[in-house]
Structure 1
Amino acid sequence: MGDASMAETGEVDEAGGGGPTVTGPYDDPPAVWRLRSRGCWTEAAGLLAGGGAAHPDTALRRAALLIERCLFTADGWAEAEDALRTAEALARTDGERGRAACERGHLAYASTVLGVRDRADEARSALGRGAALIPPGARDRALLDFRRGLIAENLAGDPAGARLAYRRAHAGATAYGDRLLCSFTRRHLAGLALRAGELAEARLGFTESLRLREELGYLIGMPPSLLSLAEVEQDPEATRLRAEATRLFRLLGGLPVWLSRPLGEE
């Protein structure tokens, strides 16, 4: 167990469905998604740095990619901060400001849970600002609700509040066909179920999350999903899942970095 879920969920227990959350602006262009899904965030962000970089949506997508890189590598914070400030400056509508606030909250949350700097108050404030700008039922609200669930679970110690937020996020992600976000909501709800001793529900959620990531080709998210499912399976299946997670972790160059301890890569 160890530091694995400090990244996606923000708590130190990969078996509980954790790891830094990576869902960001949806509908990545195919070339960007291919790079992003394999952990090539710098290259993916580079594709967005051309003539359209001054567009609010493009600037926000670029910032989200660089924030995601921070979450998986625990590096690149200054560049992510600069990109986010640019996106914030370009935002003009409430929707654009709300999405930028959501990313601001996510960056602050990531810094807190990865132990870089405690920015918990900033994370709460930014997500609260985003909630005031993005109405319930809007597509962007699903991601915001998910990230508020992370705050509730891992900063406030409120699993009941987290469960409600994750369920709202899952409903929104399902309604808008955001399968990547669904993979996260299923996994984090499964983590809460596991901690509550609800093994059948946890197994179902982890299995579904892994299936979605396989279908999407979300390679960088596969090692933590495999480890989560291994926690609720019996041998020899659990051993097979851990071996596959280790293989992919090494193939990806030791990413996510927060899986290093559970996989013995000190």
Structure 2
Amino acid sequence: MAYTAMSGSGSTAGDDPLQTAVWRLRSRGCWADAAALLAPRADAAGPALQRASLLVERCLYTARGWEEAEDALRTAEATAHTDEERGEAACERGHLAYVSTLLGAHDRTDEARAALGRAAALLAPGARGRALLDFRRGLVAEKLSGAPQSARGAYTRAHATATDRGDALLLSFTWRHLAGLALRRGEVAEARHGFAESLRIREELGFLVGTAPALVSLAETEQEPEAGRLRAEAGRLVRLLGGVPTWLAERLVPPLPLSPPSPA
């Protein structure tokens, strides 16, 4: 059975019943339920890491559950024995610190950088977690360090590896963030293409919880009435999911105030 760090790199994992069930719950924003399915196996490195990554992703989309994510991550770190396992756990540690900083829970910028640097030292160039690590280093460069050029290089490396390995969900994230950088440069056509590719992949995979952010991003490159139609569809999905992602609900469902830029 294959276990993967799920935050931005997961899939249905073929026909494996457990992984299929985990994916279906995760894609609908039911992270706690998905993590509960893995709990009986969390004394092993793979399931422990996957469980931790699910709970970290819940923090990203809901800004809650921090203590549970920390506890699960400590379990994953304790069960890691090889350099690859330790590197993947460090990558997840860096991601949690990044999310905490981005959403204003706690400023853990230094921890995010240190953990991702540790992951880079532990993961071999061809390791399965390297593309996800490159993507997350790009996030830190763009969102926490204000270094879009460094971020673009990291996203591009992650995008190329994800393409080679057929990691469709990670591709949806790299397309989205490369498009966001293109939009910042004023390259609207390139941004529109990237956002459209991200949306297409998420819809094909059934990644419902990530579809609304993709719709809103694409709307930023369109004129009315298409932009309004995309935002309305995003709002419908957010309401369907009970107000998740929370930072997007604040933008789409009045009269709540505007939220920070979308991180996912």
Correspondence for 1:53 = 42
Structure 1 residue 255 displacement after superposition: 0.4
SS in 2 for 1:262: helix
Give yes or no for contact 2:90–2:118 (8 Å, CA) kept in 1: yes
Of residues 109, 112, 126 in structure 1, which corresponds to 2:101? 112
Alpha-carbon deviations, 1:133-178, whole Å to 9, x = none? 1122322100000000001111111100000000000011111111
Give yes or no for contact 1:22–1:71 (8 Å, CA) kept in 2: no
Of residues 31, 37, 59 in structure 1, which corresponds to 2:27? 37
Correspondence for 2:145 = 156
Alpha-carbon deviations, 1:2-23, whole Å to 9, x = none? xxxxxxxxxxxxxxxxxxx941
RMSD of aligned alpha carbons: 1.3
Correspondence for 1:68 = 57
Instruction: Return the letter of the residue paired with 1:38.
Output: R
**Corresponding residue pairs, total:** 245
Runs of 4+ in 1 over 3 A off after TM superposition: 24-28
Correspondence for 2:250 = 261
Q: Which segment is superposed worse, 184-193 or 22-31?
A: 22-31
Instruction: Return the letter of the residue paired with 2:27.
Output: S
Give yes or no for contact 1:25–1:61 (8 Å, CA) kept in 2: no
Instruction: Return the letter of the residue paired with 1:207.
Output: A
Correspondence for 1:85 = 74
Distance 2:37 2:59 in 1: 18
Q: Taking every aligned residue pair, what percent have the same amino acid on both sides?
A: 68
Instruction: Return the letter of the residue paired with 1:162.
Output: A
Distance 1:30 1:185 in 2: 23
Q: Which has the higher contact order (CA 8 A, sep 6+)?
A: 1
Distance 1:154 1:141 in 2: 20
Correspondence for 2:184 = 195
Question: Where does structure 2 lack aligned partners over 5 or more consecutive residues?
Answer: 1-5, 14-18, 257-264
Distance 2:167 2:139 in 1: 18
- TM-score w.r.t. structure 1 length? 0.90
Question: Where does structure 1 lack aligned partners over 5 or more consecutive residues?
Answer: 1-20
Structure 2 counterparts to residues 106-145 of structure 1, below 5 A: 106-145=95-134
Give yes or no for contact 2:11–2:23 (8 Å, CA) kept in 1: no
SS in 1 for 2:39: coil
Alpha-carbon deviations, 1:68-90, whole Å to 9, x = none? 11111111100100000000000
Instruction: Return the letter of the residue paired with 1:90.
Output: T
Correspondence for 1:250 = 239
Structure 1 residue 236 displacement after superposition: 1.8
